[in-house]
A and B are shown apart, each in its own frame.
Chain A
Amino acid sequence: MDQPIILVIDQDPGVRALLERMLPAFGYKVQTVTSGEEGIDQLAQGNATVVLLDLDLPGMSGADTLRAIRAMSPAPEVVVTAARGTVTAAADVARHGAFDFVPQPFDFKDLNQVLRAAHDQAARRRQTLHLEAALRAHDPFPEIVGRSPGIKRVLALVNKAARTLSPVLIQGESGTGKELVARALHVNSPRATAPLTIVDCGALQDTLLESELFGHERGAFTGAHGLKHGLLEMANLGTLFLDEIGEMSPATQVKVLRALQSGEFRRIGSNRHIKADIRIIAATNKDLREEAQRGRFREDLYYRIAVIEIHMPALRERTEDIPFLVEHFLRVNAYGGRDRLQVTPEAMACLLRYPWPGNIRELRNVIERLSVLADSQVLTVDALPPAIAKAGLEPAEPREGGRSHDGPRGDGAPDLTLDEVERQHIMRTLERHRWNKKRVAGILGIDTKTLYNKLRRYGVPIGPRGDGDVASPPS
């Protein structure tokens, strides 16, 4: 087995010398630096699996260094140490992602044990990363989470569209995951090894957007001097993702259309034609067909990019995916060897009933914040943002056909499978009876065990109590 590499960050030359002498005796390779800045530099190039970090540092503080190191990927484990009087602070810092805390002066037997365990943990984590990468090879769309009929329809379309080089238009509200779909299309396409180039057409106004797309040549662009290749050239033989294409000005639309039609473009200020073979994926939160019909978007460009259309459902149209998404984001945000948070059934009920106007992006942000701020391992209603907690308090109005009625299209109840009707009925009944599972099982005419099995199948966490007791009402 390779010798574990330990990076020592300590400003005290005596401590560094001591560790340089002692750690090799325990079978470690040692690197030493004197500041957080140097430590980060060293980690960016090296392959240390464990960092021994003294909190008392010049310049960048020990706490900041710890956070910066834990943000790296793959992150080494950090063992925190302090010479004197800072044990409380160190323990507090250790909560924020350090592997362990070792006081000074060192007991080398103890230090060796901790370093060994930290190295094993880092090695396991690297192993997991490899495994996840291998698994990803089998699941073409690991980032797109959910099992609802709506998201399954999207995945089926993505699967078909990915194999072609046809232009794809992805439509859906903000935060529904349009960029993820664009990425999935690209990485599963014949062009997966070429770059995916992304531009947010809504963020840049005409001149800047055109400079970004077409580049410019020396001295050409209103006084610009250097050569800029531009995104079209970057995307040659790859995929160009035009996000928020509905925001593109008519003038830029013409230029883009021309480039797509002819397969070539000119840098600003240049007469030379440059060939560009580009697969186009575009996204918008507008109804682009309607925009085109009303003359607000060029119809010819619309037909050029909307060869395949994918409609992203809003989160309120796929509430059954919320537990899976919550689980996914909790896993992503469990850091520093911490176990992921557990969500109480009452808190989950609130998450399920909140309408999520900002869609998955809003859900992700909420879970991210809760993961960082959580004081305990259990996520209760009290910890939720008020608006979401309040959603769980409102009386559950039975709504025919589920929440899709709130949807922007208002085109009536969607076609549902019997399973889905059953699920919605069970969830509504649970909400109405404050998650008293025993009572709900009685009302539904099934035994409690069957109810639990069904909830498990829906991905609804059942909670720590595990029997059909009365759930405490959300406070």
Chain B
Amino acid sequence: MSQDTGSAAPTPVAERERILVCDDDPRMRDTIVETLASESFDVDTADRAVDAIQRIMRASYGALILDLKLPGLGGLDAIAVVKRFDQSLPIIVMTGHASYETEQAARAAGIFYYLVKPFNVEELVAAVRAALRFRSSSRRKA
């Protein structure tokens, strides 16, 4: 009945899609980059939200991993701006400050997955894979 290919069929993960990681903590960035690189993902990094927004305006990414607590333009505001440029870009937010309100605000902004720091590597990788699957299925629909 459905015209699209649906997510029931196993969809190949488009691993060549680039992933953008935005975190002001260099150690966290490095850890994520190493983890994702070891799973053969291509990764770009940004240390500020405006930098991430600029990159998203120039290139198409498969997913954005975004720290909520950033200097300058904060993660929540950044989500709103990113959504204007790329509505279907899946955003995985990371936070070490898991208050109820933070989680609620992030979810209201339309995120793909909520990742609480410190997280384990499998959860991160699984979330990224799911985000890329989601991305490729929304690209097919578009």
By a beta-carbon cutoff of 8 Å, the part of chain A in contact with chain B is 36-37, 40-41, 44, 60, 64, 67-68, 71-73, 173-175, 195, 197-198, 200, 202-205, 207-208, 211-212, 221-229, 231, 233-234, 244, 246-247, 285-287, 357-359, 361-362, 365, 408
> Quick check: A68 and B100 within 8 Å, CB to CB?
no
A-B CB contact pairs (8 Å), 21 listed: A37-B51, A37-B72, A40-B53, A60-B54, A64-B57, A68-B53, A68-B81, A72-B84, A198-B110, A203-B131, A205-B130, A208-B126, A224-B123, A225-B117, A226-B98, A228-B98, A228-B116, A234-B107, A286-B2, A359-B3, A362-B141
Known A41-B50, A200-B134, A208-B123; judge A225-B141 contact (CB<8 A). no
Chain A residues within an 8 Å CB radius of B120: 222-225
Select the stretch in B4-12, B17-25, B32-40 that faces chain A. Answer: B4-12
Closest Cβ–Cβ distance, residue B34 to chain A (whole Å): 18
> Quick check: B130 and A44 within 8 Å, CB to CB?
no
Interface residues of B in 76-126 (CB under 8 A from A): 77, 81, 84-85, 90, 96, 98, 100, 103-104, 107-108, 110, 112-114, 116-120, 122-123, 126
Closest Cβ–Cβ distance, residue B54 to chain A (whole Å): 5
Cα of A233 to Cα of B103 in the assembled complex, Å: 10
Closest Cβ–Cβ distance, residue B140 to chain A (whole Å): 9
B133 touches A (CB below 8 Å): yes
Cα of A331 to Cα of B142 in the assembled complex, Å: 20
B50, B131, B141 pick with most chain A CB within 10 angstroms: B50
Cα of A285 to Cα of B3 in the assembled complex, Å: 9
B73 touches A (CB below 8 Å): yes
> Quick check: B141 and A175 within 8 Å, CB to CB?
yes
Chain B residues within an 8 Å CB radius of A231: 107
> Quick check: A229 and B98 within 8 Å, CB to CB?
yes
Known A44-B77, A228-B114, A234-B104; judge A37-B48 contact (CB<8 A). yes
B1, B77, B100 pick with most chain A CB within 10 angstroms: B1
> Quick check: A212 and B104 within 8 Å, CB to CB?
no
B28 touches A (CB below 8 Å): no
> Quick check: A247 and B8 within 8 Å, CB to CB?
yes
> Quick check: A197 and B107 within 8 Å, CB to CB?
yes
Chain B residues within an 8 Å CB radius of A224: 116, 119-120, 123
Closest Cβ–Cβ distance, residue B15 to chain A (whole Å): 17
